[in-house]
Structure 1
Amino acid sequence: MAANHVKRAFKYRFYPSDAQAAELSRTFGCVRKVYNLALAARTEAWARQVRVNYNATSAMLTAWKKTEELAFLNDVSSVPLQQTLRHLQSAFANFFGKRARYPRFKSRKKSRKSAEYTTSGFRFRDGQLTLAKMAEPLDIVWSRPLPEGAEPSTVTVSQDAAGRWFVSMLCEDPAVKPLPSTDAAVGVDVGLDHLLTLSTGEKIANPRHERRDRTRLAKAQRKLSRKARGDGANRAKARRKVARIHARIADRRRDVLHKLTTRLVREN
């Protein structure tokens, strides 16, 4: 019997064509709409002390698609719409299990733009990924290879606030092996002057670029606040600049923390 391999997400940037970007933006909007409709239906039922499950919301989705008002839901792949209902089911399971707050509605401006596809919603062949409803494969920047012979089980497409597009593929990775055990242990204290202080006496400084990035962010935020609310194009441009700086800070911080936590786990 084959050993159970660990599943890992491999995330890449990609550059959609205008048609693909329009299709994905439509899909994100439909995913958000279906999630909010199902949450409203479940909340209304909850007020009547009736529990609605995934199967019930799936039946509702079929009915919504037949109405004139929501016929546009038929224009996108049904797979991400079903997946968002599954995510809502998980959110309610976590709420009932007292592991999370009551699910919240997704807003157009603040919620993450994403859509999840299972195997029936994409084709992965010869190193090319083609999503449902699309004629051409995605133009992906393969910054690192997938494991040999890997077949993605789910694919998540997202767009961040800075307008960058990402695709994340969940694959089995036979290369992931347990680390050798060690008797070493270390205490970690999070500080203000330093990022971390270890019980060994080692002090890990905040990244050098942190202060520079923060200064740049403050300057961009001041410029944005000076833009008049009615000045649509310039305000949107300034908002994108703030989002790009935020994204760079988050990327750099994630990279530093990932390298640091990997080191601490390997050594202790």
Structure 2
Amino acid sequence: MLNLTYEYKLIPTDAQRETFDYWLEICRKVYNYALRERKDWVNSRKCDANSCSIRQEYIISVDTPRPTFARQCFTLAQAKKSISELKIPHTHVLQQVLRQLEAAFVAMWERGHGFPRFKKRMRSFVFPQLNQESVKCFDGADWVNLPKIGLVKMHLSRPIPQGFEVKQIRVVRRASGYYAMLTLQCDVEVPQASPSGHGVGIDLGLEHFLATSDGELIDRPRFFVDGQSKLKSLQRQLKRKKKGSRKFRQLHHQIAKHHEYISNSRKDFHFKTAHHLCDRAQTIFAEDLNLKAMSAGMLCKHTLDAGFGQFLSILGHVCFQRGAYFAKVDPNGTTQECPRCQTHTGKKLLSQRVHKCPECGYETNRDVAAAQVVLQRGYTAVGHIAVNFGEGK
């Protein structure tokens, strides 16, 4: 089963835009109420009955079951009988909000994420089940048919592949407008690519965004740093405006659009770089980096600006689309190992940007040498013969 997600720009009317905003506000209220219900249940069982706080305590009956997704869906159905506002959005949309909350708790229990927080605003809602003709084209324009909303005009920037069916639509609100993320599904088995052809290893860094085992160095664009001066100017203007005024809202919207521009520029660079690598190699290996630790260090601002995690995810997706093999290898000690003789070189300072092996004399750029070690480890992991690199100088 092959799943794809295509994103399209919506062109709603003013009435439809108001409907989207209203639905998002109702979804936010449902999410926060369900989270409060779960939080109160947890707080009421944090301590023994003989050691409760003197000032205040959550008192909930001992027989009250733990709020789960199924119980909260049943409570939501009962609440619709008395709260007319809950009847406005589609039933499945509100159920997906509760499913999103359940996923947040599962991530906390299983992957060590923090306790879910209350939301100031919701940015999207989902239609999980659709009719077969959810996307239509007539009168020379493309439309998407949303339940209980109707036909919404859509800019079909690329055609939907033949043989795929639209299984889910997520409506997303951004600073530049509303977007529809269509989940497409096709009943076909796609075989995984195997290592073949020319291979390349990559090393990610801050001095150069990327170094390849072929000796290519790609500079790192400083998306946020370059756009920070304009951002500071807008934020200074926002600080002097009365909160909630017309000019305050306009500046707030400009700041959001500037952040979106920075994000789109970074993503565009990542996609172009991923396609550039696939043009030159059919097998790509990268380091399995600890991105959480990298984003908490002294250079966290520049690390987050580079977006290594997003790039690796996009690279894996592009390799899958183009039939290239992509895998991650152990990153420990890649900069300390000689790619020619596997000697531990013992580099102690990041300022040492040249790799020069004391044993074999192999000399090259430090990042290129690390990329060559990544390529060797990747070939070793898949059972291929490792490559040897140049002669010593």
Q: TM-score range by the shorter chain?
A: 0.7 to 0.9
The answer to whether structure 1 residue 155 and structure 2 residue 165 are counterparts is no
User: Of Structure 1 and Structure 2, which has the larger fraction of its residues in helix?
Assistant: 1
Deviation at residue 123 of structure 1 after TM alignment: 5.3
Q: How many residues align?
A: 255
Higher normalized contact order (CA 8 Å, seq sep 6+, divided by chain length): 1
**In structure 2, distance between residues paired with 1:125 and 1:105:** 34
Secondary structure (helix, strand or coil) at the match of 1:119 reads coil
Secondary structure (helix, strand or coil) at the match of 1:254 reads helix
The answer to whether structure 1 residue 41 and structure 2 residue 37 are counterparts is yes
Task: Decide which of 211, 216, 229 is 2:242's aligned counterpart.
Answer: 229
Q: Counterpart of 2:301?
A: none
Task: Decide which of 138, 143, 155 is 2:157's aligned counterpart.
Answer: 143
Deviation at residue 153 of structure 1 after TM alignment: 1.1
Q: Counterpart of 1:56?
A: 71
Deviation at residue 207 of structure 1 after TM alignment: 3.4
> Which residue identity does 2:126 align to in structure 1?
E
> Which residue identity does 1:38 align to in structure 2?
A
Deviation at residue 209 of structure 1 after TM alignment: 7.2
The answer to whether structure 1 residue 238 and structure 2 residue 238 are counterparts is no
> Which residue identity does 2:134 align to in structure 1?
F
Q: Counterpart of 2:145?
A: 130
Deviation at residue 119 of structure 1 after TM alignment: 1.6
Secondary structure (helix, strand or coil) at the match of 2:158 reads coil
Structure 1 regions of 5+ residues with no counterpart?
none
Task: Decide which of 76, 79, 88 is 2:92's aligned counterpart.
Answer: 79
Question: Given the superposition, is the C-alpha separation of residues 12 and 125 from structure 1 closer, same or farther in structure 2, using an over 3 Å criterion?
Answer: closer
**In structure 2, distance between residues paired with 1:217 and 1:194:** 25
> Which residue identity does 2:209 align to in structure 1?
L
Residues 147-174 of structure 1: CA deviation (Å, up to 9, x unaligned): 11422111000111x2411100101256
Q: Which moved more, 1:179-188 or 1:84-93?
A: 179-188
Structure 2 regions of 5+ residues with no counterpart?
46-64, 138-142, 285-393
Deviation at residue 213 of structure 1 after TM alignment: 3.5
Deviation at residue 250 of structure 1 after TM alignment: 0.6
Q: Which moved more, 1:43-52 or 1:97-106?
A: 43-52
Q: Counterpart of 2:201?
A: 186
RMSD over aligned CA atoms reads: 2.7
Residues 49-79 of structure 1: CA deviation (Å, up to 9, x unaligned): 5532111000111222233xx4211122122
The answer to whether structure 1 residue 201 and structure 2 residue 218 are counterparts is no
> Which residue identity does 1:53 align to in structure 2?
T
Normalised TM-score (structure 2): 0.59
**In structure 2, distance between residues paired with 1:239 and 1:125:** 34
Identity %: 24
Normalised TM-score (structure 1): 0.83
**In structure 2, distance between residues paired with 1:144 and 1:32:** 32
Q: Which moved more, 1:176-185 or 1:195-204?
A: 176-185
Residues 212-236 of structure 1: CA deviation (Å, up to 9, x unaligned): 53433333333323x3224711111
> Which residue identity does 2:43 align to in structure 1?
A
Secondary structure (helix, strand or coil) at the match of 2:153 reads coil
**In structure 2, distance between residues paired with 1:60 and 1:209:** 46
Q: Which moved more, 1:137-146 or 1:199-208?
A: 199-208
The answer to whether structure 1 residue 119 and structure 2 residue 134 are counterparts is no
**In structure 1, distance between residues paired with 2:30 and 2:177:** 24
**In structure 2, distance between residues paired with 1:198 and 1:156:** 37
**In structure 1, distance between residues paired with 2:149 and 2:112:** 38
**In structure 1, distance between residues paired with 2:232 and 2:283:** 38
Highest CA radius of gyration, 1 or 2? 2
Q: Counterpart of 2:298?
A: none
